[in-house]
Structure 1
Amino acid sequence: MTRNIYAILVLLCTVLPACRKEETTQLSGDPIADTVVPSAKEILSFTFEAKNNPQQLVRDVVCHVYEDHISGCIPYLSSNKSLIATFNTTGTSVIVNGVVQQTGVTSNDFSRPLTFTVKAADNTTKDYTLQLFTFTGLPILYIETENPVVSKDDYVKGHMTIDANTKYPQAVTDMQLEMRGRGSSTWNMPKKPYRIKLNTKTEMLGMPAAKKWVLLANFADKTLLRNYLALEIGRRFEAAFTPRARFVEVILNGEFMGNYLLTDQVEVGATRVNIPELKPSSTATDISGGYLLEVDERLDETVWFRSQLQVPFTIKSPEDITSAQLDYIRNYIQQTENTLYSPGFADPVEGYSKYINTPTFINWFLVNELLKNNDAVFFSSVFMYKDRNAKLSMGPIWDFDLALGNVTYNGNNIPEGWWVKNAAWINRLFDDPVFVKQVKDRWNILKATQISTLYTFINESAAQLKYSQQENFNKWDLLYNYTWPNAVSLGSYDSEVQYMKDWLAKRIKWMDAEINKL
């Protein structure tokens, strides 16, 4: 879905209440001009009248007709989109999928965009693409589970129906799944984050097919945007394997749970971290890769180890790691660390660059330092991967709830000051003048090409959530209340978004000055 459509949706839903107050005029569908213009083929008005759709609608839905498209919004949950339209046209006929339409009579399935072709008296035609949105305009996930989801460890079986709300392609709309909780501190919050595992690999809202997906609740982020913005910056900065994401509404066991961010699961896979997947049966010649590791002080995996500097590494993949594989990656990590802190660490041949993929470290650093991500000081959600016969790389980026000034401790509410630069390994890399120059050069390229339009992206994303955030905060009464670990509590959604933009502007200014002083 393009950003233009989001803007149209916002405009549309803004004017709808006024439209509903007006008396609806009966439309005939016949040309309204006394003299027929042979080439006339316009749709003049388009409405879904409640009297013609009593099962689906509470009140009339007046659509907006533009040059070549029509947009409508049903501002409440409605899963049945088989509707009868009432329209007025200057053409001689209107056709959808080869079927001649009768105003106020013909029913169509509007769960996907439809093309209305208007035919003129001279047999010329004009196409209008119609998109009908529901509720807040975001895709809606209807999830039913056999039992309540109360554990981070135990999956519960269930079923999901997806209403893509005409925003994204979604060939499969019904699927079986398993669902469990996820997260650390976030799992203890009232609005729970979840992990879902589909029975079959499936494309989700235009994202590549996979089984495992994540639903981020963003409970403590009153903009609902920080993770989404961070992933956008990751793509712009070319951070390795940055996850994709879509905003959705979640209805769980009949209860509206609010706005969620549906994302890729960080895992090894052809459409995720695309490296070879090691198995217990893998031969000894394959032992150099691939590995997915997480620096995680919580040690939230079955297999983990600490380096000599006490950096905590957990094994994300392979899940069934053999002793030989574990020995290999643990030794490789320690060899990397030993070299990094050796006197000759900056040697271009035998120094750290022999072991690490430096550009991935730089891109990862710039994303996390720019956003002053609280957990990125090698505490948690710091991912590394090692491809087969390749160096150690940083990524994917992940977990930005406590970023962009949304935290009260470690001084990370303040836009000034280094943070991730002080982390283990990273601080040592900055002792190398060559690495410093690479960081400086990379920053200046990105600042010149990727930074200035971030504020527009934030504004457009906030506009996309205009109605979703209202429903979310009707469900979760947070805007006027302090929520751990917020640095501010400003009482309105727009104020929260503006605080984040102001913080980011100050951070960019500080980063630019300080990086260029290095």
Structure 2
Amino acid sequence: MTRTNYLLLLLLCVALYACKKEASPLIDQHIADVIPSASKEILSFTFKASNNAEQLIKDVECHVYDDHVTGCIPYLSTNKSLIATFKTSGISVTVDGVPQVSDTTINDFSKPVTFVVKAADNTTKSYTVQLHTFTGLPIFYIETEAPVISKEDYVKGKLTIDANTQYPQTVTDLALEMRGRGSSTWMMPKKPYRIKFSNKTELLGMPAAKKWVLLANFADKTLLRNYVALEIGKRFEAAFTPRARFVEVILNGEYLGNYLLTDQVEIGPTRVNIPELKPTSPASDISGGYLLEVDERLDETVWFRSLLQVPFTVKSPENITAAQLAYISNYMQQIENVLYSPSFNDPVEGYTKYINTATFINWFLVNELLKNNDAIFFSSVFLYKDRNAKLSMGPIWDFDLALGNISYNGNNLPQGWWVKNAVWINRLFDDPAFVQQVKDRWNMLKSTQVNTLYTFINETAAQLKYSQQENFNKWDVLYNYTWPYAVPAGSYASEVQYMKEWLSKRVKWMDTAINAL
């Protein structure tokens, strides 16, 4: 064959191949068979009861997403060493380098497990497999030596944590002490609790501390109000806003329902981060730090009232000395005296000399937006004073009777001022400079932080889909009247929708009212 004829034949073959490629998809399939495949997908993932008879009652079908797999065992299950059944388009699957065989290999799914699928071309893709149990929330199994029946006396016990693959939790078995907490909430059927560890401990990804709170949210049929309020506190930069996680609580073998695990309001490196005064602290440290609560119930050993009868209880220092008490009570009275003096808004000697105005504004906006019934200087109004610093407001706390969840004081209505009428707060609004700061702060926060709150509420309610069902199976109050809410909405979804609609109306009213000041 001459060189010319060879070139003609080659050109003819190329032309024919091009025509065939356009005319027939079979060529593409042939090429795909020749070139190494890059396919490495998990096609299905199941836990069969036949393979896991000890742990499962029926098959658990998992959902496969882009790079993760999720499934839920819809009942309490502590043994999560399971055999998975899976199909894949890859040539092999490993976990931590260990080959995986469908229907055969056992893994511990108490934490997220990474399955690595290898393709024929040696590329890989990782899938994070998360298996939840019961409602999908972390589960606290608590055993105590005696029933927890007191708000004063701790009972010793043990906590076992099933993080349910939701959060990091290195230590899962802890000795604890537990007692009741709250005022009106302690009188409700579903009790709130305080737990205490001997050493500072991280819980569900939250910074280490000894004392923690389990809020029952019995009076709130959305179970969300405290959590939403704390989210708003973070968005509004309210000082030292507590962190929180939803958990299921099982106490001495009895399921108690959905609880909100939160930071304890206290002085500490991961809480209200100011120096802690002690009886042995030198006199030079007397200016701080103090943590006070305005509490009409006077629910502390040490308390005092101002001349305007504002009830201050001393949360810290716990063992306050006479000199320390004299200092802080005199300081609070000095603030009140200046506030109600004719020159209260003097830029040098007025109230700004004594209070951290920004913290007061952020605290006010959170509580007024949610129309928090107790925040009118009745209870759960916290203030703190750092060493050689001004008085600050915070942390925010206690929003059971907020967001329309009340039938009195007009706080079921989304219109009208409430916290603005509180003693001290109402006086601040007599200062045009303070009013302007409130306007500016509100308008900035409204434009950046408020509109997405409804999506946050929807997403959180969706996370509680199964938890709220179990909670209201335990506590049959969803469709019945319970104090303080006037009219049951008729379903969990309706309760959440009512809260969102109330908030929407409140935002509109606040926007108009603040900018009209």
TM-score (norm. length: structure 1) = 0.93
Partner of 1:382: 381
Partner of 2:74: 75
- Measured in 2, the distance between the counterparts of 1:387 and 1:316 equals 14
Shift in Å at residue 122 of structure 1? 2.5
Which structure 1 residue ranges, 5 or more long, are not aligned? 1-32
Partner of 2:431: 432
Deviation per CA, 1:277-308: give whole Å up to 9, x if none: 11111101111000000000000000000001
Deviation per CA, 1:313-332: give whole Å up to 9, x if none: 00000001111111110010
Indicate conservation of the 8 Å contact 1:69/1:128, yes or no: yes
Indicate conservation of the 8 Å contact 1:193/1:216, yes or no: yes
What amino acid is the match of 1:171?
T
Q: Does residue 1:267 correspond to 2:272, yes or no?
A: no
- Measured in 2, the distance between the counterparts of 1:352 and 1:124 equals 67
Deviation per CA, 1:153-208: give whole Å up to 9, x if none: 00000000111111111111110000000000000000000000012211111100
Shift in Å at residue 488 of structure 1? 2.0
Alignment of 1:397-408 (within 5 A): 397-408=396-407
SS of structure 1 residue aligned to 2:71: strand
Partner of 1:366: 365
Partner of 2:460: 461
Indicate conservation of the 8 Å contact 1:178/1:198, yes or no: yes
Shift in Å at residue 120 of structure 1? 2.0
Deviation per CA, 1:16-68: give whole Å up to 9, x if none: xxxxxxxxxxxxxxxxx999963332211111111111111000111111221
Partner of 2:166: 167
Shift in Å at residue 124 of structure 1? 1.7
Partner of 1:17: none
Partner of 1:10: none
Q: Using the aligned pairs only, state the percent identity.
A: 80
Q: Does residue 1:192 correspond to 2:191, yes or no?
A: yes
SS of structure 1 residue aligned to 2:313: strand
Partner of 1:248: 247
Partner of 1:357: 356
Indicate conservation of the 8 Å contact 1:47/1:62, yes or no: yes
Partner of 1:38: 37
Partner of 1:60: 59
Q: Does residue 1:218 correspond to 2:213, yes or no?
A: no
- Once the two structures are overlaid, the 10-residue window that deviates more, 428-437 or 34-43, is 34-43
Partner of 1:138: 137
Partner of 2:511: 512
Which structure 2 residue ranges, 5 or more long, are not aligned? 1-31
1:145 and 1:35, CA in 2 relative to 1: closer, same or farther beyond 3 A?
Answer: farther
SS of structure 2 residue aligned to 1:333: helix
Alignment of 1:281-430 (within 5 A): 281-430=280-429
- Measured in 2, the distance between the counterparts of 1:256 and 1:444 equals 44
Shift in Å at residue 491 of structure 1? 1.7
What amino acid is the match of 2:71?
G
Indicate conservation of the 8 Å contact 1:382/1:398, yes or no: yes
Indicate conservation of the 8 Å contact 1:175/1:199, yes or no: no
SS of structure 1 residue aligned to 2:260: strand
SS of structure 1 residue aligned to 2:507: helix
1:35 and 1:191, CA in 2 relative to 1: closer, same or farther beyond 3 A?
Answer: farther
Alignment of 1:117-128 (within 5 A): 117-128=116-127
Shift in Å at residue 87 of structure 1? 1.0
Partner of 2:235: 236
Indicate conservation of the 8 Å contact 1:405/1:487, yes or no: no
What amino acid is the match of 2:509?
W
Show structure 1 runs of 4+ deviating over 6 A.
33-36
SS of structure 2 residue aligned to 1:505: helix
Shift in Å at residue 487 of structure 1? 2.6
Q: Does residue 1:444 correspond to 2:453, yes or no?
A: no
Q: Does residue 1:484 correspond to 2:483, yes or no?
A: yes
SS of structure 1 residue aligned to 2:365: helix
Alignment of 1:11-26 (within 5 A): none
Shift in Å at residue 71 of structure 1? 0.9
SS of structure 1 residue aligned to 2:412: coil
SS of structure 1 residue aligned to 2:449: helix
What amino acid is the match of 1:215?
L
1:36 and 1:51, CA in 2 relative to 1: closer, same or farther beyond 3 A?
Answer: farther
Deviation per CA, 1:80-136: give whole Å up to 9, x if none: 111111111222211101211111111111011111011123322111111111111
Shift in Å at residue 387 of structure 1? 0.3
Q: Does residue 1:475 correspond to 2:474, yes or no?
A: yes
Alignment of 1:173-188 (within 5 A): 173-188=172-187
What amino acid is the match of 1:41?
K
Partner of 2:14: none
Partner of 1:28: none
What amino acid is the match of 2:102?
T
Partner of 1:15: none
What amino acid is the match of 2:463?
Q
- Once the two structures are overlaid, the 10-residue window that deviates more, 121-130 or 311-320, is 121-130
SS of structure 2 residue aligned to 1:214: strand
What amino acid is the match of 1:68?
D
- Measured in 2, the distance between the counterparts of 1:370 and 1:40 equals 53
What amino acid is the match of 2:393?
M
- Measured in 2, the distance between the counterparts of 1:417 and 1:66 equals 47
Partner of 2:23: none
What amino acid is the match of 1:114?
V
SS of structure 2 residue aligned to 1:509: helix
The count of residues paired between Structure 1 and Structure 2 equals 486
What amino acid is the match of 1:170?
Q
Shift in Å at residue 336 of structure 1? 0.6
- Measured in 1, the distance between the counterparts of 2:125 and 2:152 equals 55
Partner of 1:258: 257
Shift in Å at residue 363 of structure 1? 0.4
